[in-house]
């Protein structure tokens, strides 16, 4: 008898090789998202566009070449132009000229979605200003992958990119964003996660924080806890690979309660409970629902 694991994999119901035939692509700039780890995290449309575009451009030409090899997409004599932070001003005119000639240009950054803490912004802007169609091909992004698995509220979030390198600037930066009533997503080098956790602890050691490492890769790891718990976690000492940090929004218990009561009382003297709660929440960067509960108490309606 053949056991289940002995059986060969069944033929896939749909063949995924439609991209092998190159079709004529309408003119325009195609911003193509690429995998952040697992090579098969790429859309069929991305493969079609990489197969059909007249001109290819990439942050690192070898990285795109490798991705195309993995997916069996031939170059067919097409060139891949390098377009990155250090040559953008020099490289853009050739790409804009190809668009002006009615060509299709596909652009990929090294991993994830171009323009998200990656090159491509000026290219997309200039292409649009020159009257070219700009198409986004959505796909992987480390920021959204980390948010999805963080377990933190995802109805409202703010992507902050990388923190500033110097301590003074980072403290001001963190303090400002930590006051906003939203989940925060930031990119960080594995060597600097400790440093950012130290700063976070100086401001709010109880803030729930998630360190998401090597997403979609073999050593994917998600570490959750308060900022203080993560700061004390020995795994932070020798983090390797790529990291996204996701930070919870502030809770009412984290603000100065006397100040909150003072602000609420002042607003309650001149407005309805609902309006007073909304104003105070906005002023102090707090969740409206929790401030409203306190406003009800102060107004003696609870």
Q: How far is the CB of 212 from ligand SAM (least distance, A)?
A: 6
Q: How far is the CB of 269 from ligand SAM (least distance, A)?
A: 47
Q: Which one, 60 or 283, has the nearer CB to ligand SAM?
A: 60
- Residues binding ligand SAM (CB under 6 A): 36-37, 109, 111-113, 116-118, 141-142, 187-188, 212-217, 242-244
Kindly tell me the burial class for residue 43, based on how many C-beta atoms sit within 10 Å of its own C-beta (0-12, 13-18, 19 or more): middle
Phi and psi torsions of 159, nearest 5°: -95, 125
Q: Which one, 220 or 290, has the nearer CB to ligand SAM?
A: 220
Q: How far is the CB of 244 from ligand SAM (least distance, A)?
A: 4
Q: How far is the CB of 134 from ligand SAM (least distance, A)?
A: 17
Q: Which one, 212 or 227, has the nearer CB to ligand SAM?
A: 212
Tell me how many degrees the CA angle 33-38-42 measures, rounded to the nearest 5: 35
Residue nearest to ligand SAM (CB): 112
Q: Which one, 72 or 161, has the nearer CB to ligand SAM?
A: 161
Question: Three-class SS of residue 129?
Answer: helix
Q: Which one, 152 or 263, has the nearer CB to ligand SAM?
A: 152
Query: Edge-to-edge, what's the strand order for the sheet holding 28-32?
Result: 80-82, 55-58, 104-108, 28-32, 134-137
Residues 282/179, Cβ–Cβ less than 8 Å:
no
User: What interhelical angle do 273-284 and 288-298 show, nearest 10?
Assistant: 130
Q: How far is the CB of 262 from ligand SAM (least distance, A)?
A: 40
């Amino acid at each position: 008898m053949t056991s289940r694991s002995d059986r060969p994999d069944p033929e896939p119901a749909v063949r995924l090789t439609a991209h092998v035939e190159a079709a004529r692509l309408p003119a325009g700039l195609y911003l193509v998202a690429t995998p952040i780890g697992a090579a098969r995290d790429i859309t069929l449309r991305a493969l079609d566009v990489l197969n059909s575009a007249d001109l290819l451009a990439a942050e690192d030409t070898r990285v795109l070449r490798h991705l195309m090899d993995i997916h069996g997409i031939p170059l067919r004599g097409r060139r891949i132009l390098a377009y990155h932070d250090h040559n953008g001003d020099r490289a853009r005119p050739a790409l804009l000229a190809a668009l002006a000639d009615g060509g299709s240009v596909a652009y990929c950054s090294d991993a994830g979605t171009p323009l998200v803490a990656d090159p491509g912004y000026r290219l997309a802007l200039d292409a649009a200003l020159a009257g070219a169609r700009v198409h986004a091909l959505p796909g992987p992004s480390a920021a959204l992958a980390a948010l999805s698995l963080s377990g933190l509220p995802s109805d409202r979030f703010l992507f902050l990119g990388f923190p500033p390198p110097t301590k003074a600037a980072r403290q001001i930066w963190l303090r400002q964003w930590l006051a906003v009533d939203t989940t925060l997503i930031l990119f960080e080098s594995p060597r600097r996660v400790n440093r950012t956790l130290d700063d976070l602890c100086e401001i709010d050691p109880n803030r729930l924080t998630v360190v998401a490492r090597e997403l979609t890769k073999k050593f994917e790891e998600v570490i959750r806890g308060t900022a203080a718990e993560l700061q004390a976690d020995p795994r932070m000492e020798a983090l390797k690979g790529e990291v996204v940090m996701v930070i919870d929004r502030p809770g009412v218990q984290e603000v100065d309660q006397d100040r909150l009561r003072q602000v609420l009382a002042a607003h309650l003297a001149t407005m309805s409970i609902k309006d007073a709660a909304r104003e105070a929440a906005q002023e102090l960067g707090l969740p409206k629902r929790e401030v409203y509960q306190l406003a009800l108490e102060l107004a003696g309606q609870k």
